[in-house]
Amino acid sequence: MDIQAIKRRFGIIGNSLGLNRAIEVAYRVAPTDLSVLISGESGTGKEVFPQIIHQFSARKHGPYIAVNCGAIPEGTIDSELFGHEKGSFTGAHESRKGYFEVADKGTIFLDEVSELPLATQVRLLRVLESGEYIKVGSSKVHKTDVRVIAATNVNIIDSIAENKFREDLYYRLNTVPVLIPPLRERKEDIILLFRRFSLDFAERYRMPEISLTTEALNMLENFEWPGNIRQLKNITEQLSIIEKNREIDPETLRKYLPDYMDKKLPAIIRGSDDRAFASDREILYKILFDMKNDMSDLKKLVFDIIRKNPEDPEFENNTKLLKRLYPSSYEPYDQAGNGDFEAKHHEQSNIEDTEELVEESLSLQEKEMEMIKKALQKFNGRRKHAAEELGISERTLYRKIRQYNIE
């Protein structure tokens, strides 16, 4: 079966290369029992692809169950997926089959799989590896033959770094990845989708179909569509119901497109490595600045102690030592202690600061570790607040904790 036939069967609209590639991968992996992870932003239509895989697989006559993991409370998710025994918890008046038992010999689609609690992820990993699971409140091992298809709209790699998702489960689910492109990368499909939606709403609400002027069509194509296809569909429905004039001009369309800009200014986009480098540099600057202040205070303190004790037997030797150490910033003091160390020191701060940084640079790692430990202690181990205190991202803080083996 060709791609166009699949599109007609499942109501998929568009001809972009990224969309066609995703459909082709889904069709080719369907006859196997491999796990599939579908990735894409919210509103891109990820829920259609598990149906393609199921319908073209040997399990097409078996059950197909779609589960939104983010919509089930954490306290009941294990019971929903794996079932429970009577009396296993308050309110469990009878035994209940879970989705993995009901979907035996079929397919289960786990939407928003990144929302699963860590404890449930361990149970899911066991099902994927051995087909075994245990009901809540039971000690008996059950077997199931289910194909698992998962979907997510977040970057799971970031969730792994934040200890929110198990790395072994990610690689087990991601046997075959299917990436759904966002609508802003499918500009050639935007007009096709709009016309299809406008026709559908015209038939549903029994009113004339809306159309766009040439300028309005250009606006539609140039919009970024953060909500993807779902947002485009909602805006088309609003226009169909609210606007009396069935030809939509740019002024009318602009009311329905939030934050639309006619001209897109160039923007600097930095990758994750650049952001991490910037965060590291910021914390080092902070450490160096604090060290410079400490050294300046120490110098001033030494000068004050010496000039306030001219009768000390070592006064003359100490003043000679200061002249040798800081010849450009020391100015002889009279018996009354007159002199302006701070002004002289400030004039030479550039030279002296350079020398100080070279001398202290070997302990930067220890200073960084010390600051991280103090921040964690201050907030009782709460990394989010500690990262905000240090002026770095939580991800960078997590990496530093692992790097320095901080408990």
Q: What is the pLDDT of residues 260-301, one digit of tens each?
A: 655 454 444 444 454 555 556 667 766 777 777 777 766 666
Closest to 126 in 3D by CA, of 111, 142, 113, 150: 142
pLDDT of residue 268: 47
Closest to 49 in 3D by CA, of 80, 74, 26, 21: 26
Percent of the chain surpassing pLDDT 90: 59
Mean pLDDT calculated for residue range 80-109: 92
Q: What distances in angstroms separate CA 255 from CA 100, 259, 260, 374, one per listed residue?
A: 47, 10, 9, 51
List, for residues 200-237, the tens digit of each pLDDT value: 999 999 999 999 999 999 999 999 999 999 999 999 99
pLDDT of residue 370: 82
Query: Between these two residues, 311 and 174, which has the higher pLDDT value?
Result: 174
- Residue partners of 28: CB distance under 8 A and separation at least 6: none
Mean pLDDT calculated for residue range 113-130: 95
pLDDT of residue 353: 45
CA dihedral over 240, 244, 249, 254, signed as positive or negative: negative
Q: Which of 64-68, 255-259, 266-270 has the lowest mean pLDDT?
A: 266-270
Q: Which domains does the chain show, CATH number per domain?
A: 3-181 (3.40.50.300), 184-254 (1.10.8.60), 272-404 (no CATH)
Q: What are the backbone angles phi and psi of residue 171, rounded to the nearest 5°?
A: -70, -30
CA angle 151, 155, 156 (to 5 degrees): 70
List, for residues 26-65, the tens digit of each pLDDT value: 999 999 999 999 999 999 999 999 999 999 999 999 999 9
The packing angle between helices 48-55 and 3-10, to 10°, is 120
Q: How confident is the model at residue 341 (pLDDT cuts 50, 70, 90)?
A: very low
List, for residues 315-331, the tens digit of each pLDDT value: 566 666 556 555 554 55
pLDDT of residue 90: 81
Q: What distances in angstroms separate CA 112 from CA 40, 133, 301, one per listed residue?
A: 11, 21, 61
Query: Between these two residues, 351 and 9, which has the higher pLDDT value?
Result: 9
d(CA 276, CA 130): 39
Q: Which of 223-237, 295-309, 371-385 has the lowest mean pLDDT?
A: 295-309
pLDDT, mean over the chain: 83
Mean pLDDT calculated for residue range 139-152: 96
Token digits of residue 319: 């003043």
Query: What string of H, E and C letters represents the secondary structure of the chain?
Result: CCHHHHHHHHCCCCCCHHHHHHHHHHHHHCCCCCCEEEECCCCCCCCHHHHHHHHCCCCCCCCEEEEEHHHCCCCCHHHHHHCECCCCCCCCCCCECCHHHHCCCCEEEEECHHHCCHHHHHHHHHHHHHCEEECECCCCEEECCCEEEEEECCCHHHHHHCCCCCHHHHHHHCCEEEECCCHHHCHHHHHHHHHHHHHHHHHHHCCCCCEECHHHHHHHHHCCCCCHHHHHHHHHHHHHHHCCCCEECHHHHHCCCCCCCCCCCCCCCCCHHHHHHHHHHHHHHHHHHHHHHHHHHHHHHHHHHHHCCCCCCCHHHHHHHHHHHCCCCCCCCCCCCCCCHHHHHHHCHHHHHHHHHHHHHHHHHHHHHHHHHHHHHHCCCCHHHHHHHHCCCHHHHHHHHHHHCCC
Give the distance, in angstroms, between the CA of residue 186 and the centroid of all CA atoms in the same chain: 23
d(CA 50, CA 66): 9
